[in-house]
Structure 1
Amino acid sequence: MPAHKFTLDDLKRVLREGAGADEDVDLDGDILDSDFESLGYESLALLETGSRIEREFDISLADETLTEARTPRDLLTAVNALLEPADIR
């Protein structure tokens, strides 16, 4: 069980704080499978978003994670995979 789950609300907050929000895009709508580009977030905005996520959640995201995450669902999945505690053996 993750110590903390990175939620869609967390992502929306980080996006707004880091890169703002395009007036034409409703982040409160159903955006899970919307392409970041169609939401108005290009690669530089996603790099800033990634940096903020890393600082806030104390994780390290690979550059590929941000370039390969095309949708909020992709990014949520990647971040939550890093937040899950390692198996204790």
Structure 2
Amino acid sequence: MSRSAFTLDDLKRILLEGSGAPEGGGLDGDILDTDFTDIGYDSLALLETASRIEREYGIELDESVIGEATTPRVFLDAVTGHLATAAA
């Protein structure tokens, strides 16, 4: 299913569905600029998240997204950019 918007709530939902509740910081509060490792998610969790986003939103994320998206804000920006490109 292709969608045109991707929000922090979408990211939180997909993280929880794919990797469960994090150990450590958690997903509550202002996490936009908090490193994923500080929230409790590692690179494997982000790979699973990216895979789920690709299937759900009908986009293909660059491999660099996982390496460069160290915070939810950067991850959201990357997904939003891919969605905008796909819609154009």
**TM-score using structure 1 length:** 0.88
Counterpart position of 1:81: 81
Higher helix content, 1 or 2: 2
Tell me, in whole angstroms, the C-alpha distance in 2 between the residues paired with 1:72 and 1:22: 14
| 2:19 maps to 1:10 | no
| 2:27 maps to 1:27 | yes
Tell me, in whole angstroms, the C-alpha distance in 2 between the residues paired with 1:20 and 1:65: 21
Q: How many residues were matched structurally?
A: 84
Which residue type is aligned with residue 40 of structure 2?
G
Which residue type is aligned with residue 25 of structure 1?
G
Query: Larger Rg: 1 or 2?
Result: 1
Q: CA deviation at 1:79?
A: 0.3
Quick one: percent identity of the two aligned structures?
60
- Structure 1 vs Structure 2 CA RMSD: 1.2
